[in-house]
Structure 1
Amino acid sequence: MSGAPDLRAAVAIAGAALSDMGSVPVGTTPAGLMAQASRRALAQCGLAPADVDGVFAASTQLPWASVTLAEELGIAPRYGDSTQVGGSSPIAHLNHARAAITAGLCDVALIAYGSTQRLVGRAVASVQEIDRYEAPHRPMLPLAAYALAASRHMHEFGTTPEQLAEVAVSARRWAQAWDGTPAAWATKDLTVEDVLAAPRLCDPLGVKDCCLVTDGGAAVVVVSRERARDLLGTSACEVLVLGVGETQAHRHVSSMPDLVRTTAVDSGAAAFAEARLGPQDVQVAQLYDAFTITPIVFLEDLGFCAKGEGGPFVQSGAIAPGGSLPVNTTGGGLSFQHPGMNGLPLLVEGVRQIREVGRDVSLVHANGGVWSSQCTVVLGSGAAA
């Protein structure tokens, strides 16, 4: 669009933090977890809740999530956004926040999420919208839909149960590096044989092919690049938003034209084009892993391997510790934490990989619904900008 502002590297993530994770005490609320993570993220960059003038939040438990968070923090922001597109919401919020900052609608954007799904039960925390054409079949959603996609991938490309299992084993190996920390949930040894022997839930997916059910929250603080330098100092490692892609395809899986090809193709292409980078430049990736099939499909759709080659790519050890493309370096939703909608915890880890590990290009991809909403962000250090 002619005259549109250049948003590449215009904003930085100045703070990123998790709340208490795993199994939280009785009486804990989603808003309380959002506020806890928010205060931790704000403290990283020397800010307080009163400095926040833009609030972005989504939660299946809080229909007015941004308003509820603002009330919990005791603030009255001049800009708010409760866009709800499932697990991809935080990346969409990041896209909206940088546009709002560039337009002068807010200066300090807080993006937060919180869930007590383990405490209250998933049925209470995540109410499903049932499609009238799917309802007569009484599917166990979203499990049945992802099992359908896994079956199709196996039929079309020869993907094997062992290759799916490698995703879970890789996640566990990454999680084991976090053993002993409060946020590490599943760190016991896990083999391909263990995954295959686990009870089946919806063929071909078993218990170990499915994400954890935990409580938790996360938050990031987004400001202009110049404001981040003022807050953190010019010697601090910058975490810049180089490119974002945001797409929506369908609400229910019965409306999906192709079970193994998602609009991550489009969100990834948009993010890479804006970042002026490609898959070959990515040094670490956080890919939404509610089920073992999802990272395989996203590796293909984002261009890290050809369509149909995700299974062999994973089986080669490429995404595991020591591999060519580190993926889900906390253990992701399969072994670290999965508090309902896992996009924001993945974003926090994407930030950490630049700030603490020293990566220059970090990709985070989040998924909402049943392949319904796909959002991709390419983060970069100052050197990558």
Structure 2
Amino acid sequence: MRGTIVLKLPRLFLGLLLALLCGTTVAAQTITTMAKGLDHPWSLAFLPDGRVLVTERPGRLRIINRDGSLGTIEGVPPVFARSQGGLFDVVLHPRFADNQTLYLSYAAGTNAANGTVIARARLEGRRLADLEVIWRNAPLKAGPVHFGGRMAWLPDATLVMSTGDGFDYREQAQVKSSGLGKIVRLHADGSFPADNPFPGSAVWSYGHRNPQGLALDPATGILWAHEHGPRGGDEVNRIEKGRNYGWPVATKGLDYSGATISPFKSYPGMVEPRVVWIPSIAPSGLAVYRGAMFPEWNGSLIVGALAAQEVRRVVLDAGGRELSQERILPQLKARVRDVRVAPDGALWLTTDDAAGSVLRVTPR
């Protein structure tokens, strides 16, 4: 059953407060629960007919029907579901209306040897048909953390995906021949584009820690990513071909023990982040808002946060530099895993919980 929360905020007080903090204003929003009781819902995809796909981290693909009922899609491949591992992203092929093809990213293997995988399949009714793995990350790693797993399509219909550094393998983020700590770029069939920056490799950019936000701005063609820092040092980066984003040579965070990871907060030849969060907010899920429902948000980055339990709007200037930030759903207290902009301009969220929810945000 869907529930609705109307955020009633004193307009004068809110306007004055936000003007002092960041020079922006927040309109009142309505949050509607579209589905609940989901096991760590990780990602969303909007079907052309109005239904919505939802991944659950333990390895289920669910579907929210137009009448609000919740169904299950059969044929999902086995996943390595432990700790941070499991089923991650779902994205539709750019010509999904013609070919019914979708893509899944997930953790595969065992605790001793695992990696991030991309598979594609056709959606036929309530099942996946002709599923095939088109890419496997290498080298394999041990341990159930830092997989990355976010996907996005570039304007040339190539697919990009983020990969984590494997936590105990952070030096691999600087090794161009390794798939750990990277953003990779593939053709729709999994082959490597000839114009990738490193011949015979899927690597598009490197020096990443654990990127769990990846989004293309449809108006500008700019690819944005954010990644978890260690103890502080979460980053938002503008992703460009062949660039080195620093980890672990340069970081603004500390190790979890408080020890210094690197003496360098920046390093020559390595890209400086556009946004840094200290302390960490644990960003997960990223969207560039382009839509009609919240015109004042157009061009902003919308960021979900796990540790901070919030949704942030990052306001950018014409050059993609941060102008200000604001918490756009001040009454929402939940670990936000994914944020998406629906075709109608509504903002959709998933909450990271054993009984997680899918939420739709519209103007009041």
Normalized against structure 2, the TM-score is what? 0.31
- Greater strand share, structure number: 2
- Which of the pair is proportionally richer in helix? 1
Higher relative contact order (CA 8 A, sep 6+): 1
What TM-score do you get using the length of structure 1 for normalisation? 0.29
